[in-house]
A and B are shown apart, each in its own frame.
Chain A
Amino acid sequence: MHCLWCENEVEFSLTWKSLLIPSREKVLCSSCRGKLELLQGERCNMCSRVSMEKLCSDCKRWQSLTHPSSLQWNYSIYKYNYFMKELVAKWKYRGDYTLGVSFQSIFQEHFKVHFNHLRKSAIAVPIPLSHERLKERGFNQAQMLTEFLPIESCSPLERLHGEKQSKKTKKERITGGNPFKLKETIKKQVILVDDIYTTGATLHQAARLLIDSGCPAVYSYTLIRG
């Protein structure tokens, strides 16, 4: 077994379990995994950003912009540090699909802890890519993350083609028009899934659309808080 990032041999401890059921799980080695930083300590209840306040300044602004608030809250796992940036660049932009598998177990674990109460009542919805972008990348990273989750999922959203979110400024993101279109309405609670929450613009816009069409509540689950 080799590390998905550095190609070094991954060492497994020899236990009865690992002997009887050889693991075929694709993983990072311990040194690469160590370079990923979990979000820790006090954080904003709304957006998961590390912050001493219960509601960070960005979220206060979101609340003043949208009445009633479209997104209940967001939960993220990792910090967007240097190593994570490199990892995401290779996974998403270079299209190294297999790298995403290394997030599978942690994405499931944190789901169990933080979304367990929604497990029966909610449905997972990945943030889509535009057709053009999907063709270019070959896969949708949000879709991939959604498939890790133990709940039902569907794709009611469609994205119109436009400038990449990561190329826009904060202001352009927040004031820009809604890039999504709704294909069907959903009457269940929704957990939006995406790889990263940066300004929150994408997720808020998607949530707005869902709420306006009669969805009772929208949460979001993202791998990284940018």
Chain B
Amino acid sequence: MTQLQDDKELPHLSSDQLSPDQLSAYYSGKRLLRNEIHIQEVYFQWLLSKQYFIPVPAIKRKLFHYTCQRCGNSRRSLFGDIPCASCGETHVYCRKCIMMGRVLACDFLYYWNGPVIERTLLQYEPCTWEGTLTSTQEKAANRIVKAIQLQEKELLIWAVCGSGKTEMLFAGISEGLKKGLRVCIATPRTDVVQELKPRIQQAFSSIPIEALYGGSNDTEAKAQLIISTTHQLLRFQEAFDIMIIDEIDAFPFHSDPSLLFAVQRSRKLKSTSIYLTATPRKQHQMQILLKQLPHFFVPVRYHGHPLPVPYMKMSISLKKDVQNNHPPASFVSWLKKRKNPNRQLLIFVPTISLVESLLASVTKLLLQEQMIKNKFEIASVYANDGARVEKVQAFRDKKLVAIMTTTILERGVTFPSVDVAIFDAGHDVFDEAALVQIAGRAGRSAEDPKGEVVFFHDGKTEAMIKAVEMIKEMNKRIADF
């Protein structure tokens, strides 16, 4: 670090260099490493001396305890030691957030302290969405608008799978945009960001929107409306007036403390946070019960039909069947007497290795039952699958009759008419939230609101019982609504 030099004049700038006022559009609300700030070194030093940028040591050290000032990581095992070539000393670096660029102990993070960008109030309605909301959706939308108008701190929208959560947001977003507020829609998953971008862009056709995720083309991150993965929020600091978090209960959000840290730092001190979920975690349910977290409940799907209630099928030989690369015996008998054999079939299994080992025998079975004509009408989809997007699209286009998958398809995807089967529903990966989400894949369209959901198991687990209870509970609340 060079010393601050107060009376240094503004250095001569090349013509493409922006003035501090212009820079504020790019850098206000951010917390960045030097190599993420694209400014010539001389000019940058001048900006530092005038305190337009404020440096903070990138890793804070307290006795034997380190904290990464970007991601909040303080676990010693997630810091590595590196003999650093740029400073010549051996020191720590953060391994937790390294995929976003390495944070070294000899580095600084910089945040903008210069002029704040003034966003103009919109004189027109930015929302160009022409659909109509159901009365339930409208109630929820109004509740969100109210929360923004009254600058409430937090609001949780508990809306069942298939209730049309995205559409409920439009009124609130447009309220924020009109007031010149900065809005962020954050979600834990990259594919959800990619899916949301065109939908939101269509709904707000004249508003510039940026979608941030690892590998995204939008890198300036200066738009008023931003859709981002929760990871990318690590580059922000006090940036957003309205923070909407979709699927707040989803992995990795609920299990990774740095993501909550990112969300909290990226919103302004005075801001409104809207949380969306179909399956709130215990902690939120508790807060709701204790009336610490305002919430709004949407028990009805957009088509007004109740959620399909899963039923459980015991299959004593399940573990043995699966080990011998066969589907559970009761699956075979269920397959023969499905209520509506025209529905597509969505099969969830607990692990990737099972997807691979069971695919052949399930294919054979479906061929025998003449559910599929050839082996190209069934596919497997899992996390590191290069053709994942294409396969899901093929299933949507009904080119595929059946899909075998892991929990990666548990949420965020919509297929109009499917039956859902879970092999080994008692496995640890299927917790209560996952089971409710998976059950929520069935009966999504008004034409066929009654898909079947079957849990194949060799012993009920608490998660299975709770999931069924939760779905029944939500269905009951439709009547009260």
Q: State the Cβ distance, B475 to closest chain A Cβ, in Å.
A: 39
Q: Judge if B99 is at the interface, Cβ distance under 8 Å.
A: yes
A94–B80 alpha-carbon span in the complex (Å): 13
B85–A97 CB distance below 8 A? no
Segment at the B interface, from A53-61, A130-138, A154-162, A210-218: A130-138
Q: Judge if B93 is at the interface, Cβ distance under 8 Å.
A: yes
Q: Judge if A90 is at the interface, Cβ distance under 8 Å.
A: yes
The residue from B77, B78, B99, B104 contacting A138, defined by CB atoms under 8 A apart:
B104
The residue from B77, B78, B81, B86 contacting A97, defined by CB atoms under 8 A apart:
B81
A95–B83 CB distance below 8 A? no
A7 cross-chain contacts in B, Cβ below 8 A: 78
The residue from B77, B83, B85, B95 contacting A96, defined by CB atoms under 8 A apart:
B95
How many residues does chain A have at the interface if contact means C-beta atoms less than 8 Å apart? 14
A212–B86 alpha-carbon span in the complex (Å): 33
Q: Judge if A140 is at the interface, Cβ distance under 8 Å.
A: yes
Query: What residue in chain A is nearest B100 (Cβ atoms)?
Result: A94
Known: A90-B98, A95-B102, A96-B95. A139 touches B77 (CB 8 A): no
A138–B98 CB distance below 8 A? no
Q: Judge if B387 is at the interface, Cβ distance under 8 Å.
A: no
Q: Judge if A15 is at the interface, Cβ distance under 8 Å.
A: no
A94 cross-chain contacts in B, Cβ below 8 A: 98-99, 102
A2–B96 alpha-carbon span in the complex (Å): 13
A2–B85 alpha-carbon span in the complex (Å): 27
B85 cross-chain contacts in A, Cβ below 8 A: 134-135, 137-140
The residue from B86, B95, B99 contacting A98, defined by CB atoms under 8 A apart:
B95
The residue from B78, B84, B98, B99 contacting A139, defined by CB atoms under 8 A apart:
B84
Query: What residue in chain B is nearest A82 (Cβ atoms)?
Result: B384
A135–B77 alpha-carbon span in the complex (Å): 25
A135–B95 alpha-carbon span in the complex (Å): 19
B84 cross-chain contacts in A, Cβ below 8 A: 138-139
Which of B83, B85, B95, B104 has the most CB atoms of chain A within a 10 A radius of its CB?
Answer: B85
A137 cross-chain contacts in B, Cβ below 8 A: 85
A7–B96 alpha-carbon span in the complex (Å): 10
A2–B77 CB distance below 8 A? yes
A78–B80 alpha-carbon span in the complex (Å): 24
19 A-B pairs whose Cβ atoms sit less than 8 Å apart in the complex: A2-B77, A90-B98, A94-B99, A94-B102, A95-B93, A95-B98, A95-B102, A97-B93, A98-B81, A98-B95, A134-B85, A135-B85, A137-B85, A138-B82, A138-B84, A138-B85, A138-B104, A139-B83, A139-B85
6 tightest A-B CB contacts, nearest first: A98-B80, A97-B82, A95-B102, A134-B85, A2-B77, A138-B85
- Report B's interface with A, CB cutoff 8 A: 77-78, 80-86, 93, 95, 98-99, 102, 104
User: Known contacts A98-B81, A138-B84; can you find 14 more A-B pairs with CB under 8 A?
Assistant: A2-B77, A7-B78, A94-B102, A95-B98, A96-B98, A97-B83, A97-B93, A98-B80, A135-B85, A137-B85, A138-B102, A139-B83, A139-B84, A140-B85
